[in-house]
Amino acid sequence: MKSPSLLLATAAIAAAAALLAGCVAQPTARSYIPPPRSSVPAPPPVSLSESLSPSEQIVDMPQQPSSRKSGELSDTVERMARRNACTPAGSATLIAKTTAAETYQVSCQDGQQQLYKCELRQCRQMN
């Protein structure tokens, strides 16, 4: 005859096996299936001349020369350029601006270019 502890262990193993047999991994998430695409092709793009009425016409406008961008510290940079042997051929041009810094380019009359970077209103020559 089997001992009671062996019978208890056998029963526990049988119960665990029965529980695990019922827990077969079943996929619970559904996979997404996109709706079918329409087989109707998109209409071709309309050109500008086709979209105008007969009384309208396309006129080419001459390009205006781009105005130089000046920043808050353009005057300061121009003064610094004069101190660095540069006679500015115009105003200092703001070429880059971030929240903390501005970068300027100064064209000198002798053809050289000077770059200045201003951080927290403190400017320094870069080249």
Q: Where are the domains of the chain?
A: 74-125
Which of the two residues, 37 and 73, has the higher pLDDT score? Answer: 73
Give the count of alpha carbons within 13 A of 99, CB side only: 0
Report the chain's C-alpha Rg in angstroms: 39
Confidence label for 108 from pLDDT (cuts 50, 70 and 90): very high
Which tops the pLDDT comparison, 103 or 8?
A: 103
Q: What is the pTM of this model?
A: 0.47
CA separation for the pair 88, 112 (Å, rounded): 10
Q: Which amino acid is at 35?
A: P
Residues in the chain: 127
| Nearest Cα to Cα of residue 105 among 127, 83, 120 | 127
